Structure 1
Amino acid sequence: MNTLFKALSHPVRRRIIEMLRKGPMASGDIAAAFDMTWPTVTGHLNALKEAGLVSPERDGTTIRYRLDISAVEEALAFLLSITGARSPSDGDKDRD
């Protein structure tokens, strides 16, 4: 989970996640959205991949990145647990 929070701490990585919410994108299209070098963008994508936030898929010679929300769900559950807030799925337990 430390890797996840570290990945989310950078504004460029959060922007990439916002972009991927609309659907998978080629790495070149992601890089074109930023005024930085290709290796820098690749480093951000690798950090997101290591955190389990994105999944790369090869499409011919292109690598497309897809958002993987399961890591975010795990982090959200953790944050809710430390605040004492109940997650939406906890409401179902009251009906049992």
Structure 2
Amino acid sequence: MNKVFKALADPTRRKILEILVNGDMTAGDIAKYFNISKPSISHHLSMLKNAELVLWEKDGQNIIYSLNTTAFQDIVRWSFNILNKEGERDERDKDK
């Protein structure tokens, strides 16, 4: 989970994820949305892959990137568990 939060901490990586919501893309397609170098885009994609937030598939000479929706489901589940524990603590505090 630490890799996920580290990856999400960067605004460029969050923007890449937002772009991939619209569909699968190559690094070159993603780079068109930014005013940074292609090696920088590759670095950000590598961080997202390492955190398992994006999936990739080789298609000839291209690599196609897509969102890993399972990872986002895990994040949501974790968040709800934290909120549920907080709610349970609040209820216990009311009973005191």
TM-score (norm 2): 0.83
Secondary structure at 2:64 match in 1: strand
Listed as ranges, the matches of 1:1-96 within 5 Å are 1-84=1-84
Secondary structure at 1:34 match in 2: coil
In structure 2, C-alpha distance between the alignment counterparts of 1:69 and 1:11, rounded to whole Å: 19
Q: Where do 5+ consecutive residues of structure 2 fail to align?
A: 86-96
The aligned length equals 85
In structure 2, C-alpha distance between the alignment counterparts of 1:27 and 1:58, rounded to whole Å: 12
TM-score (norm 1): 0.83
In structure 2, C-alpha distance between the alignment counterparts of 1:20 and 1:38, rounded to whole Å: 17
CA distances 1:4-31 after superposition (whole Å, capped 9, x unpaired): 1111111111111111111100110101
More helix by share: 2
In structure 2, C-alpha distance between the alignment counterparts of 1:32 and 1:62, rounded to whole Å: 16
Please tell me the residue identity of whatever aligns with 2:49: K
- Matched with 1:88 is none
Secondary structure at 1:55 match in 2: strand
Which one has a bigger Cα radius of gyration? 2
- Give aligned-pair identity as a percent: 41
